[in-house]
Chains A and B, each alone.
Chain A
């Protein structure tokens, strides 16, 4: 790549029109960035419906009665830590360290799976108490919002497992590196959505 060589040699860089199209890594990551932003726009619609419907309990249980803050705190810690290990995995990928990549991916996967297990447990407990999505508009919007985030995390776990298989079989070739970069963007974006989620749903839902 001539830009890399120019940067290393300290030469002045050519202008955008002289340099030609941006490297594929930049184009792919930028396109994925736009997808992530559109995904966040979709989440904003679910957030808006939850914010509108959160008092529409139809005589059923309210958030303050259902939510367990300790469990939410553990879920938050798991997801935050997995975002951190995902960042460390990206560093290991940049240094082309296979062992570091596997360790980072394993930690990310385990923490993400722990988050998902806690969330599924929470849903099961709520449904067992009769607080199912059919019970009230509040619960419908709650399950839609939190469930949609959970589905994203589950998809991320599948993607991470697939990426590790690709690293094992194909090694660090450019296409695999680009996919790994998109994965870490995806995983960090999910953590950002969770920040909004635990604040709006669990913390604001408990305060009157």
Chain B
């Protein structure tokens, strides 16, 4: 069999970590990740400030850029891969992402709904200040 018997530790680039390796071996991966992350960040700031884009689409574009940048950080800085020695790390991550999505989307949907069934805003402004 060729599959490795252990899953790789998160953050490690290979299963062989006790062996000393030259410092240049992984620097390219980090530098590539930094370059991509800088491009993503610059794009995000540009998208938020430009008037060239359709304003209603900007928040969605920002969300897409942020998720893409998180992916870049996971791949290039935390070395999460789809390889067979990474299954445990990816499964734990998938569960975390599931809970995060449930908490965020659930709160937003429920609170938007509740706000929709509240009394009109001008009446509410007169009655309470929260």
Contact = CB atoms under 8 A, between A and B. Distances in A.
Interface stretch (A88-96, A120-128, A150-158, A163-171): A88-96
Contact of B55 (A7, A90, A94, A207): A207
Given A37-B92, A195-B66, A16 B74 contact: no
B100 A41 contact: yes
Interface string A37-49: 1101100110111
Interface string A190-206: 01100110111001101
Interface in B35-52: 37-38, 41, 44-45, 47-49
Interface string A8-27: 10001111101100110110
Nearest to B26: A91
B5 A3 contact: yes
Sorting the interface of chain B by its residue count into under 10, 10 to 19, 20 to 34 or 35 or more gives 35 or more
Provide the main secondary structure of the chain A interface: helix
B33 to A, nearest CB: 8
Contact of A192 (B23, B49, B59, B73): B73
A7 B5 contact: no
B129 A58 contact: yes
A26 B55 contact: no
B130 A58 contact: yes
Interface residues of A, number: 72
A121 B27 CA distance: 34
Contacts of B12: 25, 29, 181
A188 interface: yes
Interface string B1-38: 11111111111100111111111011100110110011
A203 B73 CA distance: 19
Given A37-B93, A203-B44, A191 B9 contact: no
Contacts of B55: 207-208
B66 to A, nearest CB: 4
A149 to B, nearest CB: 15
B36 to A, nearest CB: 11
Given A34-B92, A195-B69, A206-B48, A185 B10 contact: yes
Contact of B62 (A1, A22, A204): A204
A16 B16 contact: no
A15 B89 contact: no
Contacts of A90: 11, 26
A52 to B, nearest CB: 4
A176 to B, nearest CB: 14
